[in-house]
């Protein structure tokens, strides 16, 4: 099979590109923006980021025998002495996207690669991992690594895909208008899935309608490609979002749909027992913790069914899928102690699901929640924090330890007479005081949830708790 590469003709297709020493250019198979681990023969693209400017490392990568470098045109005077091909462009970040779009089209032409693109307010990373694990039972799969889902990560993931791959599972993230449209226009998806529309990034996207508008750009780009859409009918904003388009697969726990799911309770270990149905295929088992992960599983199975996997392939994929660190990670210890690490990030919906999971799998044990602020919620941030009081009381959480400026609002609500029920709450202005309090508690026959937005660094309290529990 022909190898995919970038020719000199491809480079000249980039708007505004100029190639110096073009007679020394040879076809390139590898592209990198990381000077630390760049490979021989690569094209190095100098990207200016928040912390580092790739132009500062151009001479360093020359020692690693790169084939060519790409720089911003206003930097050329600093590198006019270089003897290898130097490509100047108006904007190296934009050029990275242009190259990725070319690469994606070459992948389709040479190996018929299918791109599955996923976005949503919650669960997109877990869903991406589940889909990739299932599809790997039938196809050669590449996927987004970690959380590289932005205007830099998406192009790099596409460029890391080669002619041996049959499927690329891409995660698309956003927190500003226009980001999903940009990355999905580069990816040109054959299949698109939006997990849900929630209250995330409201500081920039304003409200759920704004979130829908931003996420829906993925569907619009996929429709342009005559691709297939996966519609979550349980999400009220997505249920009727696409009309008169016949290339769609619906899935739901509530409604009649192409792929039907049913929650059958929890097993002795606290896992959700999920039944999945598609045409004449039925799959039932206790596969995941928490209702949100059950929803991710339903969405993932819809993709797997549509791409022709059989029951055994799907089951094998589910078994091989590994929980993602800090995303509802369940850790069990002696003395009936369980720690739920959900510290990767937080928004109102994921916080609610995590608290419900804490209650569901508690099995009569004492329930403690250690919660930090939720970020990027805009002008209604205080309301979203206060709203958690009813969730905590409804799920009969025994103790709540809070930190962060916005969590003061939740503490005040829990301490007021407005809330009925017993939910002992305490707020800590000083993280050290929270640490001391956590170290002073007894944890026998107890289940603890730790959660908050990324910037709250709640994983630090997980380490403290693990040290205490392990003894």
Cβ neighbourhood burial of 5 (10 Å; 0-12, 13-18, 19+) = middle
Strand order in the sheet with 228-232: 141-143, 167-171, 114-119, 191-194, 228-232, 248-252, 259-266, 272-278, 281-288
Nearest residue to 265 (alpha-carbon basis) of 253, 255, 273: 273
Threshold 0.85, pTM exceeds: yes
Locate tokens 């669960």: which residue?
Answer: 123
How do 86-89 and 18-20 pair as beta strands? antiparallel
Q: What is the pLDDT of residue 150?
A: 94
For the chain, give the longest Cα–Cα distance: 79
Q: What is the pLDDT of residue 421?
A: 64
CA 172, CA 77: separation in Å to the nearest integer? 36
Q: Rounded to the nearest 5 degrees, what angle is found at the Cα of 369, between the Cα atoms of 196 and 426?
A: 125
Alpha carbons within 13 A on the beta-carbon side of 127: 29
* Main-chain dihedrals φ then ψ at residue 417, nearest 5 degrees: -85, 0
Provide the residue-wise pLDDT of the chain in tens; the chain has 471 residues. Answer: 789 999 999 999 999 999 999 999 999 999 999 999 999 999 999 999 888 999 999 999 999 999 999 999 999 999 999 999 999 999 999 999 999 999 999 999 999 999 999 999 888 999 999 999 999 999 999 999 988 999 999 999 999 999 999 999 999 998 778 899 999 999 999 999 999 987 654 555 557 777 888 899 999 999 999 999 999 999 999 998 898 899 999 999 999 999 999 999 999 888 999 999 999 999 999 999 999 999 999 999 999 999 999 999 999 999 999 888 999 999 999 999 999 999 999 999 999 999 999 999 999 999 999 999 999 888 889 999 999 999 999 999 999 999 999 999 999 999 986 665 678 999 999 999 999 999 999 999 999 999 999 999 999 999 999 999 987
CA 139, CA 121: separation in Å to the nearest integer? 28
DSSP string over 318-357: HHHPPPPTTSSEEEEETTTEEEEEE-S---HHHHHHHHHH
Look at the alpha carbons of 262, 265, 269, 270 in this order and tell me if their dihedral is positive or negative. positive
Alpha carbons within 13 A on the beta-carbon side of 175: 10
Nearest residue to 452 (alpha-carbon basis) of 378, 349, 342: 342
Q: What is the pLDDT of residue 169?
A: 98
Look at the alpha carbons of 234, 237, 242, 243 in this order and tell me if their dihedral is positive or negative. positive
Number of CB atoms found within 10 A of residue 182's CB: 19
Q: Which residues contact 238 (CB under 8 A, 6 or more apart)?
A: 194, 196, 197, 212, 231, 232
Residue 248, strand partner residues:
229
> CA distances (Å), 180 to each of 119, 135, 160, 206, 321, in order?
8, 24, 20, 16, 26
DSSP string over 295-325: HHHHHHHHHHHHTT--HHHHHHHHHHPPPPT
**Domain 329-470 classified CATH 3.50.50.60?**
no
Q: What is the pLDDT of residue 199?
A: 61
Protein fold of 8-95: 3.40.1390
* Tokens coding 149: 């889902």
Protein fold of 113-320: 3.40.1190
Number of CB atoms found within 10 A of residue 71's CB: 22
The SS3 assignment for 444 reads coil
Locate tokens 């709640």: which residue?
Answer: 458
Helix 459-470 to helix 431-440 angle, to the nearest 10 degrees?
Answer: 30
Annotated domain spans of the chain? 8-95, 113-320, 329-470
* Tokens coding 152: 């830099």
Locate tokens 């739920």: which residue?
Answer: 340
Number of CB atoms found within 10 A of residue 442's CB: 10
């Amino acid at each position: 099979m022909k190898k995919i590469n970038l020719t000199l003709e491809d480079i000249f297709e980039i708007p505004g590109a100029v190639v110096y020493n073009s007679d020394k250019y040879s076809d390139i198979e590898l592209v990198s923006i990381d000077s630390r681990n760049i490979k021989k023969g690569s094209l190095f693209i100098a990207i200016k980021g928040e912390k580092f400017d790739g132009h500062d490392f151009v001479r360093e990568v020359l020692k690693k025998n790169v084939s060519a470098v790409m720089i911003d045109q206003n930097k050329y005077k600093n590198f006019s002495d270089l003897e290898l091909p130097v490509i100047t462009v108006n904007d190296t970040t934009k050029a990275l996207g242009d190259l990725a779009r070319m690469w994606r089209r070459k992948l389709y032409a040479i190996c018929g690669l299918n791109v599955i693109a996923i976005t949503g307010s919650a669960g997109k990373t877990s869903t991406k991992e589940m889909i990739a694990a299932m599809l790997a039972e039938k196809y050669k799969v590449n996927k987004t690594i970690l959380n590289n889902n932005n205007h830099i990560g998406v192009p790099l993931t596409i460029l890391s895909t080669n002619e041996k791959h049959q499927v690329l599972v891409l995660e698309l993230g956003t927190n500003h208008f226009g980001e999903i449209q940009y990355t999905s226009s580069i990816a040109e998806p054959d299949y698109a899935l939006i997990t849900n529309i929630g209250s995330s990034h409201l500081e920039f996207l304003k409200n759920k309608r704004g979130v829908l508008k931003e996420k829906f750009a993925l569907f619009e780009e996929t429709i342009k490609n005559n691709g297939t859409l996966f519609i979550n009918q349980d999400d009220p904003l997505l249920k009727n979002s696409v009309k008169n388009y016949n290339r769609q697969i619906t899935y739901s726990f509530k409604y009649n749909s192409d792929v039907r799911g049913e929650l059958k309770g929890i097993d002795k270990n606290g896992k959700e027992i999920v039944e999945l149905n598609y045409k004449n295929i039925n799959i039932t088992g206790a596969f995941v913790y928490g209702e949100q992960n059950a929803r991710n599983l339903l969405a993932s199975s819809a993709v797997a069914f549509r791409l022709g996997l059989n029951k055994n392939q799907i089951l094998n994929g589910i078994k091989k899928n590994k929980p993602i660190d800090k995303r509802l990670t369940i850790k069990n210890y002696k003395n009936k102690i369980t720690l739920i690490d959900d510290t990767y990030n937080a928004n109102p919906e994921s916080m609610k699901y995590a608290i419900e999971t804490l209650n569901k799998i508690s099995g009569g044990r004492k329930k403690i929640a250690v919660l930090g602020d939720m970020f990027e919620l805009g002008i209604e941030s205080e309301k979203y924090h206060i709203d958690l009081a009813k969730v905590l009381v409804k799920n009969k959480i025994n103790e709540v330890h809070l930190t962060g400026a916005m969590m003061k609002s939740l503490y005040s609500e829990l301490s007021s007479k407005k809330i009925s029920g017993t939910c002992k709450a305490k707020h800590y202005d000083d993280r050290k005081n929270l640490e001391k309090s956590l170290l002073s508690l007894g944890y026998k026959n107890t289940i603890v949830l730790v959660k908050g937005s990324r910037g709250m660094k709640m994983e630090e309290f997980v380490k403290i708790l693990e040290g205490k529990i392990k003894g």
